[in-house]
Structure 1
Amino acid sequence: MTKAARALVIGGGIGGLTAAAALHRRGWEVTVLERAPSLEPVGAAISLAPNALRALDTLGIGDEIRDLAAWQGEGGLRTPGGRWLARSDPEALAARFGGPLVLLPRTTLVGRLAALLPPGTVRTASPATLADPGGTHRPAQVAVDNEVLEADLVIGADGVNSRVRAALFPAHPGAVYAGFTTWRLLIPVPGARFASHETWGRGHIWGTHPLKDGRVYAYAAATAPAGHRAPDDEKAELLRRYGDWHDPVPAVLAAARPEDVLRHDVHHIADPLPAFHSGRVALLGDAAHAMPPTLGQGGNQAVEDAVVLAHHGAGLAAYTEARLPRTTGIARQAVRAARLNMAGGRAAVAVRDTAVAALAKAAPTLLLRSFDGIADWRPPYASGDVNAGQR
Structure 2
Amino acid sequence: MLRSDPEIAVVGGGICGLTTALALERRGFDPTVYEAAAAYRPVGAGILLQTNALLVLDRLGVADRVRDAGVPLMESLIRSPSGSILQRLDLDGVERAEFGYGHVAVHRATLLDSLRTALDTTVETGMRCRDVAETAPATVIFEDGTRVRPDVLVGADGIHSTVRDAVVPGVDPRPLDAVVYRALVDVALPDRHRDRGVEVWGDGSYAGGAPVGDDRFYWFGTAPDPVPAAGADPAARMAALRERFGRFPAPIPTVLDHADPAAVIVTELEDVPTLDRWSRGSVVLAGDAAHGMLPFAGQGAAQGIEDGLALAHAIDTHEVPTAAFDAYATERQARAERVRDEARRLGMLGTLQSRLATRARNLAVRAVPNRLFQRFRRQRTVGTSLPDPGSLGGIETV
Normalised TM-score (structure 2): 0.88
Equivalent position of 1:178 in the other structure: 176
Please give the alpha-carbon distance, in whole angstroms, between the structure 1 residues aligned to 2:269 and 2:37.
21
Asked whether the equivalents of residues 22 and 118 of structure 2 are also in contact (C-alpha less than 8 Å), the reply is yes
Q: Which moved more, 1:325-334 or 1:212-221?
A: 212-221
Once the two structures are TM-superposed, the CA of residue 280 in structure 1 deviates from its matched residue by: 0.7
Please give the alpha-carbon distance, in whole angstroms, between the structure 1 residues aligned to 2:326 and 2:76.
42
Please give the alpha-carbon distance, in whole angstroms, between the structure 1 residues aligned to 2:326 and 2:120.
29
- Measured at CA, do residues 384 and 65 of structure 1 come closer, stay the same or move farther in structure 2, by a change above 3 Å? farther
Please give the alpha-carbon distance, in whole angstroms, between the structure 1 residues aligned to 2:314 and 2:219.
37
Equivalent position of 1:381 in the other structure: 388
Please give the alpha-carbon distance, in whole angstroms, between the structure 2 residues aligned to 1:211 and 1:387.
31
Please give the alpha-carbon distance, in whole angstroms, between the structure 2 residues aligned to 1:275 and 1:227.
40
One-letter amino acid of the counterpart of residue 386, structure 2: P
Q: Give the number of aligned pairs.
A: 378
Equivalent position of 2:330 in the other structure: 321
For structure 1, list consecutive stretches of 5 or more residues without a partner in the other structure.
none
Q: Tell me the secondary structure at the aligned position of residue 21 of structure 1.
A: helix
Once the two structures are TM-superposed, the CA of residue 378 in structure 1 deviates from its matched residue by: 3.6
Equivalent position of 2:371 in the other structure: 365
Question: Map of 1:1-391 to 2, 5 A cutoff?
Answer: 4-40=5-41, 43-94=44-95, 98=99, 99-119=101-121, 121-135=122-136, 139-144=137-142, 145-172=144-171, 174-193=172-191, 194=193, 195-224=196-225, 229=230, 231-233=232-234, 234-269=237-272, 271-313=273-315, 314=321, 315-359=324-368, 363-376=369-382, 377-382=384-389, 385-386=392-393
- Measured at CA, do residues 13 and 242 of structure 1 come closer, stay the same or move farther in structure 2, by a change above 3 Å? same
Q: Deviations over 1:7-28 (max 9, x none)?
A: 1111110000111111122122
Please give the alpha-carbon distance, in whole angstroms, between the structure 2 residues aligned to 1:364 and 1:217.
26
Runs of 4+ in structure 1 deviating by more than 4 angstroms, as ranges, are 225-228
Asked whether the equivalents of residues 19 and 305 of structure 2 are also in contact (C-alpha less than 8 Å), the reply is yes
Asked whether the equivalents of residues 8 and 153 of structure 1 are also in contact (C-alpha less than 8 Å), the reply is yes
- Measured at CA, do residues 182 and 300 of structure 1 come closer, stay the same or move farther in structure 2, by a change above 3 Å? same
Please give the alpha-carbon distance, in whole angstroms, between the structure 2 residues aligned to 1:32 and 1:226.
37
Please give the alpha-carbon distance, in whole angstroms, between the structure 2 residues aligned to 1:329 and 1:312.
21
Please give the alpha-carbon distance, in whole angstroms, between the structure 1 residues aligned to 2:394 and 2:189.
50
One-letter amino acid of the counterpart of residue 369, structure 1: R
- Measured at CA, do residues 62 and 134 of structure 1 come closer, stay the same or move farther in structure 2, by a change above 3 Å? farther
Q: Deviations over 1:301-355 (max 9, x none)?
A: 0000111000011311111111111111111111111121211211111111111
- Measured at CA, do residues 214 and 190 of structure 1 come closer, stay the same or move farther in structure 2, by a change above 3 Å? closer
Normalised TM-score (structure 1): 0.90
- Measured at CA, do residues 241 and 118 of structure 1 come closer, stay the same or move farther in structure 2, by a change above 3 Å? same
Please give the alpha-carbon distance, in whole angstroms, between the structure 1 residues aligned to 2:284 and 2:42.
22
CA RMSD, 1 decimal: 2.4
Asked whether the equivalents of residues 196 and 207 of structure 1 are also in contact (C-alpha less than 8 Å), the reply is yes
Please give the alpha-carbon distance, in whole angstroms, between the structure 2 residues aligned to 1:72 and 1:303.
20
Q: Tell me the secondary structure at the aligned position of residue 264 of structure 1.
A: strand
Please give the alpha-carbon distance, in whole angstroms, between the structure 2 residues aligned to 1:97 and 1:199.
29
Please give the alpha-carbon distance, in whole angstroms, between the structure 2 residues aligned to 1:142 and 1:341.
40
One-letter amino acid of the counterpart of residue 326, structure 2: A
Asked whether the equivalents of residues 188 and 255 of structure 1 are also in contact (C-alpha less than 8 Å), the reply is yes
Once the two structures are TM-superposed, the CA of residue 93 in structure 1 deviates from its matched residue by: 4.7
Once the two structures are TM-superposed, the CA of residue 96 in structure 1 deviates from its matched residue by: 8.3
Q: Tell me the secondary structure at the aligned position of residue 165 of structure 2.
A: helix
